[in-house]
Amino acid sequence: MRDCLIRAGGEGENKYVYETVVVDHATASRDGRPFEELIIARQYLPNPVAKFCTSELKVRRIKDHINSLGWTEWLNLIGIRADEPRRAVKIHNQNVEGNEAYLPLYEDGITKEDVGRFWQRQNFDLQLSNNNGVTDWGNCDLCYLKGYRKRLSIIIERPDLADWWIRQEARYIDSAGRGGMFRADQPGYAKMLEFATNQGDLFDFDDDDTIPCMCTD
């Protein structure tokens, strides 16, 4: 696994200074610290237009780690399925700076139903919800790219998860109450927690489709 330390660069340094750290199960951050450090260094929140969290916390950290091992070319196996053709065709068999992307699930025609059946046959269960082959709890717990109702339903089940997201938005709200939003087109996380605590109707706000968390989108 890879963790990341980020800070704003000083005199004579790049604008942002990153350190990729190899961690294990015992030392990996579980409190959102690398993401929070990235936000503080950038001095603004990522959003559907500027999804810098994906590239900085995932893609570039993988590249840094592989380069640190002395590799300049490698095969990157990505788990995009056959029922995600729009995402697949953008990167399948593409080679960028020695990083060749290959999508074995897409190539073999594997769909989300196939993946669901595979996990049902295993001798353990992560007890994640399964909505037609998709779990609302996948990826970052309350990622701003998830649909509004999906995030609200998670907050209703686990209100404590909203705290980190509320803290990030609060950091960038100005004196007039503007800014500080991961998504300007939807209620912020504090308001969502209020809805959830008051048992607000899930259908009080028009939902949107979940936006893929891919650096290629």
Which pLDDT score, from 0 to 100, does residue 175 have?
56
**What pLDDT sits at residue 167?**
94
Kindly tell me if the per-residue pLDDT of 22 is higher than 50.
Answer: yes
Q: Span 107-119, mean pLDDT?
A: 91
Does pLDDT of 66 surpass 70?
Answer: yes
Give the model's confidence band at 120: pLDDT under 50 very low, under 70 low, under 90 confident, else very high: confident
pLDDT at residue 109 greater than cutoff 90: yes
Instruction: Say whether pLDDT at 192 is over 80.
Output: yes
What mean pLDDT do residues 1-20 have? 72
> pTM for the complete prediction?
0.81
pLDDT of residue 215: 47
Q: What is the pLDDT of residue 213?
A: 57
Asked if the model's pLDDT at residue 185 lies above 50, the reply is yes
Single out the residue of 210, 197, 50 nearest to residue 143, CA to CA: 210
Q: Is 6 helix (H, G, I), strand (E, B) or coil?
A: strand
What pLDDT is attached to residue 148?
Answer: 92
Are residues 97 and 126 in contact, defined by beta-carbon separation less than 8 angstroms? Answer: no
Chain mean position to CA 92? 21
The predicted structure's pLDDT at residue 178: 60
CA–CA separation, 99 vs 80, rounded Å?
Answer: 16
d(C-alpha 132, C-alpha 111), whole Å: 11
The pLDDT > 90 percentage for the chain reads 41
Query: What pLDDT is stored for residue 206 in this prediction?
Result: 55
85 near 107, Cβ under 8 Å?
Answer: no
Q: What is the DSSP letter of 26?
A: T
Residue 179 DSSP class: B
The percent of residues in the chain predicted with pLDDT above 70, rounded, is 85
> Residue type for 212, please?
P
pLDDT of residue 212: 57
Which pairs count as long-range contacts for 107-110, CB under 8 Å and 24+ apart, including other chains? 108/82, 109/82, 110/81, 110/82
What pLDDT score was predicted for residue 80? 93
